[in-house]
Amino acid sequence: MTNPRILAHFQESADLKMKAASVLAQPIEQAIELMFTALSNGNKILACGNGGSAADSQHFAAELVGRFERERLPLPAMALTTDTSILTAVGNDYSYQEIFSKQVQAFGQAGDILLAFSTSGNSGNILAAIEVAHERDMRVVALTGKGGGKIGKILTDADVHICVPHDRTARIQEVHLVSLHCICDGIDVALFGDDA
Amino acid sequence: MTNPRILAHFQESADLKMKAASVLAQPIEQAIELMFTALSNGNKILACGNGGSAADSQHFAAELVGRFERERLPLPAMALTTDTSILTAVGNDYSYQEIFSKQVQAFGQAGDILLAFSTSGNSGNILAAIEVAHERDMRVVALTGKGGGKIGKILTDADVHICVPHDRTARIQEVHLVSLHCICDGIDVALFGDDA
Ligand SMILES: O=P(O)(O)OC[C@@H](O)[C@H]1O[C@H](O)[C@@H](O)[C@@H](O)[C@@H]1O
Ligand SMILES: O=P(O)(O)OC[C@@H](O)[C@H]1O[C@H](O)[C@@H](O)[C@@H](O)[C@@H]1O
C-alpha cells in the first residue's frame, strides 16, 4: 500500500542532508557570525524570497522575533514578503522585480544583513534586492542551490553563500530549512553558550 | 573550524527522515487520496498553522495555486494565515483562539479539507479550527509531532494524522516540509501519472 515515490522523497532528502552537511557547515558558521555581529551592533536582518522561500523568510523572522528553542529578547528580523499593500503597490506601479529592493531602500541601513533565499539563484527581485543591499553597505547571506545561478556571481567576498549541492527545488528548500534552524541555534548559542 | 552543532543538526535531520519514512508513507498516501478526491469534486483545501507552521501553510498554498514541479491549472488551496486584517480583527474582537476557526466557518464547505499543521498537536487555534471543520463535514489532514497532543485525540477515523515520531519542533517542521512536498508530488501524479 505504501507508495514507493514517498519513500524515495524521504530517502533523497536524507541523503542530500548528509551530503550537504560537510559542504555547508562552514558557510553556515560564517552566516551565524555575520548575523550575530550585526545584531550585537544594533543592526537588523531583512529576509526575502519567492514562494516556498517567502515562507522561509517568514519562518526565520518568526523564530527571531518570537523564539527558537530558548527564551530570549525579541531580535530584529523582518520578512519583506508579508505586507501585501507594499508588494502590490510596488508590483503594480513599478515592477515585480522591485518588490524587495524598494523595501531594502526603505528599511536597510549600513551594517544590516540581507538574508536572501532563492533555490535557482536567478530570481530577478532577489538579485535587485542584493544590488541595493550592496549599495547600502549591507552584507548578504544568500541561500541558493543549482550552482548558485546569477546570485552566486554578484555576491562579494564579504557576503556568505550557502549553496545547496542539488538541482531539485523541493530538496533545496528542505536543506534551506535545516540551515535556517542551524542559524537560529547558532545565534542562541552565541547569546547563551552551548550547554543547554 | 566547522561547528559540530551544525553537523549534528544535519545528522539528526537525516536520521529522522529515514526513521519517519516508513511510519509516515501510509498516512501521506491517504492524505493524497483525500485531497485529490476533494479537488476532483470541486472542493478546496484550507491550511493553517502558527509560526513555522504558518509558513508551511503558505508554502503549500503557493505550490497548489502556482505550481510544484509540473505545469498545471491552479488548484484551490488557501492559507488562513495571511490576511492580517482578518487575523487582527478576530484576535482583537474575539480571541486569538478563533483566528482560524472563524475563517473555517466563513470559507469551509462540506467536502473541503482542513490541512492543519502543529508540531505539538496542542495549539488552541488549530484545535478550534478542527472542531469547526468537523461540524462542517470537512475532513482533516493533520501534521503533528510529539505524540500528536490534543489534536491526535480529536481526529476521527475519517481524518488523516501524519504524526512525526520526534519531540523537537525544528526537526518535526523539517519532516512536515518533506511530507508537504510528497503530497504535492502525489497530487501531480494523480493528475498526470508517474512517468515524468
Ligand atoms: O528559484 P527561486 O528563487 O527559488 O523561486 C522559485 C519560486 O518562485 C517558487 O517556484 C514554484 O512556485 C515552486 O517551485 C515553489 O516551491 C518555489 O518557491
Ligand atoms: O506547537 P505548534 O502548533 O507547532 O506551535 C509552535 C509555534 O507557535 C512556533 O513556536 C515557536 O515560535 C517556534 O518553535 C516556531 O518554530 C513554532 O512554529
CB pairs under 8 A between A and B: 155
Query: What pLDDT is stored for residue B194 in this prediction?
Result: 81
Q: Whose CA is nearest to atom 14 of ligand 2?
A: A68
Portion of chain B with pLDDT greater than 90, in percent? 95
Query: What pLDDT is stored for residue A193 in this prediction?
Result: 85
- The whole-number average pLDDT for the span B131-147 is 98
Which stretches does DSSP call E strand in chain B?
A: 45-48, 77-79, 113-117, 139-145, 160-164
The residue of chain A with its CA nearest to that of B64 is A51
From the CB of B53, is ligand 2 less than 6 Å away? yes
Checking if the pLDDT of B16 tops 90, the result is: yes
From the CB of A119, is ligand 1 less than 6 Å away? yes
Checking if the pLDDT of B192 tops 90, the result is: no
Query: What pLDDT is stored for residue A192 in this prediction?
Result: 87
| B46 and B78 Cβ atoms separated by less than 8 Å | yes
Positions at the binding site of B for Zn(2+): 59, 63, 173, 181
Closest CB to B21 among A11, A174, A194: A11
The residue of chain B with its CA nearest to that of A28 is B6
- Look over chain B and give the mean of its residue pLDDT values, rounded to a whole number: 96
Options 3.40.50.10490, 3.40.50.10420, 3.90.1150.10, 3.40.1740.10; CATH for A4-192 is 3.40.50.10490
Single-letter code of the amino acid located at A64: L
Ranges of chain A with pLDDT below 70: 1-2, 195-196
Residue B193 pLDDT level (bands cut at 50, 70, 90)? confident
Question: From the CB of residue A26, how many other CB atoms can be counted at a distance below 10 Å?
Answer: 15
The residue whose CB lies within 8 Å of the most ligand 2 atoms, and thus the one to mutate among B57, B117, B119, is B119
Query: What pLDDT is stored for residue B75 in this prediction?
Result: 97
Cα(B160)–Cα(B142) distance, rounded to whole angstroms? 6
Q: Which of residues 65-84 of B touch A (CB under 8 A)?
A: 66, 68-69, 82, 84
Residue B195 pLDDT level (bands cut at 50, 70, 90)? low
For the CA atoms of chain A, what is the radius of gyration? 17
Options 3.90.1200.10, 3.40.50.10490, 1.10.1200.10, 3.40.710.10; CATH for B16-192 is 3.40.50.10490
Give me the residue spans of the domains in chain B.
16-192
CA nearest to A80, candidates A99, A59, A105, A66 = A99
- Are A29 and B1 inside 8 Å of each other by CB? yes
Cα(A78)–Cα(A73) distance, rounded to whole angstroms? 15
Give SS3 for A132: helix
